[in-house]
Amino acid sequence: MSLAILKPPCVCSNDAVFRYSPKAHNVVPVSAAGYNSCAAPRGVRALTSGNDRVTLKRGVNYFICSFPGHCQAGMKVAVTAA
């Protein structure tokens, strides 16, 4: 899975783009606790297109892959947006 953050010189919001194979991965936004424990809360919607754009909120934004064993193997990212 790769992460591309769009930055200036474009005039844009703080967006993150996740590109990955949807047959092998997904992206789940989680809290800091979910990030640390590799647990997605009930009812959270996983992103599954393989080319997902997420508008980041100010501060730290946490994402994990919820496929079995992936997060535990390190497939997670914390992104700080100013």
Instruction: Give the pLDDT confidence of 36-51 residue by residue, as tens digits.
Output: 999 999 999 999 999 9
| Residue 65 burial (10 A CB sphere; 0-12, 13-18, 19+) | buried
Give the chain's domain count.
1
Its pTM stands at 0.83
CA–CA separation, 26 and 1 (whole Å): 9
Mean pLDDT of the chain: 86
19 pairs with which residues across the strands? 2, 51
Top mean-pLDDT range of 10-14, 15-19, 21-25: 21-25
CATH of the domain at 65: 2.60.40.420
- Which structural domain, as residue segments, surrounds residue 58? 2-81
